[in-house]
Amino acid sequence: MSKKNRIRLFSYEILYENVSYVPSDAQIHYLKNVMRLTSGDEVFLFDGQNGEFRSVVADISKKSLTLQVQKKVYDFEKSPDIWLVFAPLKKENTDIVLQKAVELGVSKIMPVQTEYATKIQVKRERAELQITEAAEQSRRQDVPELLKTVSFDEMIKQWPENRKLIYLNETGKGMVFSAVASELKEPVALLVGPEGGFSKKELEILEKLPYTLSVTLGKRILRAETAAIAALSCWQAFCGDWR
């Protein structure tokens, strides 16, 4: 199998060379029934702590499957300390935001219920599956944590003040990324508003806080999911691991 379509799975257990790993039921279903692996086939496992290991299918029966972990192939590497804070969108668009945020290397994702956000809840199980799959596919060594959904007020109340909160301001009143890049060092978070935008009150609150920074993505109004992708890309290029 070429490197391109190698099978890569997150391990729910901490890995070492020469241990065996029993995949979750969903992973077993994927390996056996979707990928149709047989004894001796290769699977790459990463555990978010010790790194990535080559393993092979050892025992396989009608219902079960065990992987024999062999050599470590990559050391663990942490993603940059950038969080994405976003207002929940329609289901498919939330999926896009989660998936792209993982590909673009965020370390944590926090849904925030702003005044004009849709009342749609982020479904934890579905979201965590999306996040894990995106981490597997993008060859990250860690899986970002999905924090619990908070209200705008709660977010402000519990904000860790050493973490700069960069809010994407669609009103045009904001700095351009290239001008403030030096102020956006880790730890940092990007806050994207909902389709309805931020309310006047929210913008007033954000403006007054000492740890916030208003940033513009130009004069065109972007969809929330586009804004998240664009802002994360700018951050990676100016301040993150694309430099």
189 in contact with ligand SAH (CB under 6 A): no
CB 172 within 8 A of CB 213: no
Q: Which of 150, 222, 236, 237 binds ligand SAH (CB under 6 A)?
A: 222
Among 38, 221, 241, 242, binds ligand SAH (CB under 6 A): 221
Please enumerate in sequence order all residues whose Cβ is within 8 A of that of 234, keeping only pairs 6 or more positions apart, or say none: 177, 217
Q: Radius of gyration (Cα) for the chain, nearest Å?
A: 20
Query: What's the min distance (Å) between Cβ of 114 and ligand SAH?
Result: 8
By CB under 6 A, tell whether 160 contacts ligand SAH.
Answer: no
Residue 187 Cα distances to 94, 111, 160, 166, 240, angstroms: 24, 18, 10, 11, 11
Residue selected from 47, 52, 170, 202 as contacting ligand SAH according to rule CB under 6 A = 170
Give the span between the Cα atoms of 9 and 43, in whole angstroms: 7
Tell whether residue 197 is a contact of ligand SAH (CB under 6 A). yes
Q: How far apart are CA 108 and CA 95, in angstroms?
A: 15
Which of these, 149, 156, 148, 159, lies nearest to 201 by C-alpha position? 156
**Does residue 196 touch ligand SAH according to CB under 6 A?**
yes
| Minimum CB–partner distance for residue 98 and ligand SAH (Å) | 16
Which residues 57-86 are close enough to bind ligand SAH by CB under 6 A?
Answer: none
Q: Per CB under 6 A, does 184 bind ligand SAH?
A: no
For ligand SAH, give the closer residue by CB, 60 or 224.
Answer: 224
Neighbours of 116 (CB within 10 A): 13
Q: Which window, 36-44, 62-70, 176-184, 211-219, contacts ligand SAH (CB under 6 A)?
A: 211-219
- For residues 243 and 237, give the distance between their C-alpha atoms in angstroms, rounded to a whole number: 6
Which residue in the shown chain puts its C-beta closest to ligand SAH? 193
- Contact between 205 and 158 (Cβ < 8 Å): no
Least gap, CB of 109 to ligand SAH (angstroms): 15
Q: Does 224 bind ligand SAH (CB under 6 A)?
A: yes
Residues that contact ligand SAH, how many (by CB under 6 A): 17
Q: Which residues bind ligand SAH (CB under 6 A)?
A: 168-170, 192-193, 195-198, 216-218, 220-222, 224, 227
